[in-house]
Amino acid sequence: MFGVTLAGGAGRMRAPKMTQNISGNVVTALKRANRVMIVTGAGISAESGIPTFRGADGLWRNFKPEELATPQAFQRQPHTVWEWYDWRRGLCAQAQPNPAHRVVAAMERFYHHFLLVTQNVDGLHARAGSRRMVEAHGSVWRGQCLQCGATLPLEVTPLKELPPRHEGCGGMLRPAVVWFGESYEPAVLQQMFAAAEEAQLVLVVGTSGGVSLPMDLVTQARQGGATIIEINSERSAVSRLAHERLEGKAGEILPELWHCAQLAYLVDEVRARAEQKGGRLLVGIAGPPGAGKSRLAKALAAELGPHVLVAMDGFHFNNARLEALGLRGRKGAPETFDRLAFELAVRAMRLAQEPVRLPIYSRETHEPVPEAFMAGQTTPFVIIEGNYLLHWPEVRDALDMRIYLDCDPALARKNLIARHQRGGATEEEAIRKFEQNDRLNRETIQATRGAAELQIWRDAAGWTVTRSDRQG
Ligand code: APR
């Protein structure tokens, strides 16, 4: 009866496409804040294919709230109201969390004091991994018994019986959502406004401000001195209260913003450590195969400036090169290669009187890469990456800064299989290679993570630093 089709799921996530320049102020605000609140509305789920309320195809264009979303409407026609909710539940069940939901979940891991306030009832934030969250308007995945007041999970869709009943007491259930004319739970209100009052940063994502909650929270947060950043595809009632506005799709802007903020945070950490160490720094990035250590090393190098040397791990050294270096007999185990890269980097950085050319070989072709790096007395940073760097005490101790990059295993697997395929393997061969080689080392490598002073987690939301410092 409610014939709107889903615009298509949006679960996948790639490296952020740079859609707009995120201002330095916004990045600094994200990098520095400790107490953060995020307020989301229907716009964050739009790219998952769930219709918003007030836009061109919004639900309130086609349906009347007073017939479907008030306690009076439910009293008059519970069956019709439930039919409408069950249709919406079906849309939500088909939808996947999109990159914006995933970044919000990642932010929760980074900030020590964090609260997500969502007006959405679709359950997508929870499915993306958000936990420190208030679903201010309830959820279509719960029902409330009109007889005994119990709130119950309602996970099946479509529901077997409309209106559904509470098995325990036989009472009729209503959707556990907040309707027009109803008030928020006092405890929930208290929690939301306390978070607004103490927030240093508030991100307001994809809400028109058509109901008063986002405006009230933002007003409270502003009074408490918070920086307000709005992300919305157009201007909204919240816009005039925002210090910064990022106009566009939440699913594009949030990953880009998070990438910039995390990279900036990491660079600050590296620079701070370099200062402690008299300006020169040997950084090691370790972590399981497929985590993307090279990509992180290159991104850091690009941010740190022109005088950075990056030494990649052993795949870059072919036999001929090993021979030329007098190291032929040592090939074999992957850890030999890591050690080799390490030795070269140390030699280049510490022992060179004259600049040294570090041979870097392509992982794919085993040919030297054209921009072989120079290292010498003027090289302030050397970044070296390899699985086993934290495994050997002498290597671990020689590093000035130890970074451990961990990765969602499913993503690592996908990366590694794609890498084997780029090297010419069929899909089947690539999977076999992955099963044989790459997993072999994972446990040993993972055991070294505790030796790192900086840990990073990579998943569909990009890089997120695990912070242990600067609480408060
Ligand atoms: N990215 C960012 N913003 C978007 C996107 C997108 N991809 N798509 C739409 N938007 C913005 C729109 O510009 C609009 O400002 O999302 C906002 C959606 O506004 P509404 O449809 O009014 O939804 P919301 O603000 O969540 O409504 C609040 O009203 O009807 C009640 O209870 C219902 O929770 C809902 C509340």
Distance 131 CA to ligand 1 centre (A): 22
Q: Where does residue 225 fall: left (phi above 0), alpha (psi -120 to 50 degrees), or beta otherwise?
A: left
Residue given tokens 């393997």 in the structure block:
425
> What CATH number is attached to the domain comprising 428?
3.40.50.300
CATH code, domain with 10: 3.40.50.1220
59 C-alpha to center of ligand 1: Å? 10
Q: Ligand 1, from 40, 61, 116, 119: best to mutate by most atoms within 8 Å of Cβ?
A: 119
Is the domain of 15 the same as that of 77?
Answer: no
Give the C-alpha separation, 365 to 320, whole Å: 13
Do 366 and 407 have their domain in common? yes
42 lines ligand 1 (CB under 6 A): yes
Amino acid sitting at position 359: P
The total number of residues shown for the chain amounts to 472
- Overall domain count for the chain: 3
Which of 177, 196, 231 terminates a domain? The answer is: 177
Query: What is the pLDDT at residue 397?
Result: 79
Helix ranges (DSSP H) in 17-144: 24-32, 43-46, 59-62, 65-68, 71-76, 78-94, 99-110, 124-128
Task: Decide if 270 is inside a domain.
Answer: no
Q: Which residues pair with 310 in a beta bridge?
A: 383
In a domain, 267, yes or no: no
For the chain, helix (H) and strand (E) counts, in that order, are 18, 17
**Token representation of residue 275:** 């200062």
Residue 88 in any domain: the answer is yes
314 alpha-carbon distance from chain centroid: 29
Q: Are residues 189 and 284 in the same domain?
A: no
Residue 228's domain comprises: 1-46+100-137+180-262
- The CA distance from 193 to 236, in Å, is 21
Ligand 1 centroid to Cα of residue 41, in Å, is: 5
Q: State whether the beta carbon of 256 lies less than 6 angstroms from ligand 1.
A: no
Candidates 101, 125, 137, 259; catalytic one: 137
> Does 310 share its domain with 239?
no
Measured between alpha carbons, how far is residue 172 from residues 153, 176, 309, 464 in Å? Answer: 14, 12, 68, 45
Amino acid at 155: E
Q: What are phi and psi of 179, to 5 degrees?
A: -95, 165
pLDDT for residue 312:
58
Q: What is the pLDDT of residue 332?
A: 42
As a whole number of angstroms, the distance between CA 118 and CA 28 comes to 25
| Nearest of 234, 258, 232, 233 to residue 13 by alpha carbon | 258
Strand ranges across the sheet with 138-145:
151-153, 138-145, 173-177
Find the CATH number of the domain harbouring 150: 3.30.1600.10
Q: Are residues 321 and 448 in the same domain?
A: yes
Whether 309 and 241 share a structural domain: no
What was the pLDDT predicted at 14?
45
Domain end, chosen from 238, 262, 286, is at 262
User: Are 172 and 310 in the same domain?
Assistant: no
Top mutation candidate among 184, 232, 245 for ligand 1, by most atoms within 8 Å of CB: 232
User: Distance from the CA of 246 to the center of ligand 1, in angstroms?
Assistant: 15
Q: Tell which of 210, 239, 262 closes a domain.
A: 262
- Residue 269 domain-assigned? no
Query: What b/e readout covers 291-323, taking b as 16+ CB neighbours within 10 angstroms?
Result: bbbbebbbbbbeebeeebbbbbbbbbbbeebbe
User: Residue of the nearest CA to atom 8 in ligand 1?
Assistant: 43
Instruction: Quote the crossing angle between the two packed helices 186-198 and 212-223, to the nearest 10°.
Output: 40
Q: Does the beta carbon of 139 sit less than 6 angstroms from any atom of ligand 1?
A: no
Name the token pair of 11: 């679960």
Residue range 107-132, pLDDT digits in tens: 999 999 999 999 999 999 999 999 99
Gap between the Cα atoms of 195 and 217, Å rounded: 9
Has 137 been annotated as catalytic?
yes
> Are 382 and 458 in the same domain?
yes
Integer CA distances (angstroms), 8 to 13, 95, 96, 156, in order: 14, 7, 9, 21
Asked whether residue 287 is assigned to any structural domain, the reply reads yes
43 Cβ closer than 6 Å to some ligand 1 atom = yes
What pLDDT, on the 0 to 100 scale, is given for residue 470? 47
Query: Within a domain: residue 225?
Result: yes
Task: Give the residue carrying structure tokens 């993570």.
Answer: 449
Dist. CA 462–CA 406, nearest whole Å? 11
Verify whether ligand 1 is closer than 6 Å to residue 98 (CB atom). no
As a whole number of angstroms, the distance between CA 130 and CA 111 comes to: 13
Contacts of 280 (CB under 8 A, 6+ apart): 274, 349, 379, 380, 381, 400
In terms of domains, do 302 and 324 share one?
yes
User: What pLDDT is stored for residue 317 in this prediction?
Assistant: 46
Digit-coded pLDDT (tens) for 295-344: 898 899 888 876 676 665 544 444 555 555 554 444 444 445 555 556 65
Residues 7 and 133 in one domain: yes
384 and 307 within one domain: yes
- Residue to mutate, 68, 208, 234, ligand 1, most ligand atoms under 8 Å from C-beta: 208
- Do 349 and 282 lie in one domain? The reply is yes
**Rounded Cα distance, 215 and 236, in Å:** 10
CB 46 near ligand 1, within 6 Å: yes
- Residue 272, domain member (yes or no): no
Lookup result for tokens 């679960």: 11
What tokens were used for 329?
């007999």
The reported pLDDT for the residue numbered 278 is 77
Cα torsion for 241, 245, 250, 252, to the nearest 10°? -170
pLDDT averaged over consecutive 10-residue blocks of the chain (472 residues)? 29 48 90 96 98 87 87 96 96 97 97 97 98 98 97 94 94 97 95 98 97 97 98 97 97 96 95 84 88 89 75 50 50 48 58 50 51 56 80 77 94 88 88 75 86 95 83 41
Q: Is 472 a member of any domain?
A: no
**Smallest Cα–Cα separation from 267: which of 308, 219, 312?**
308
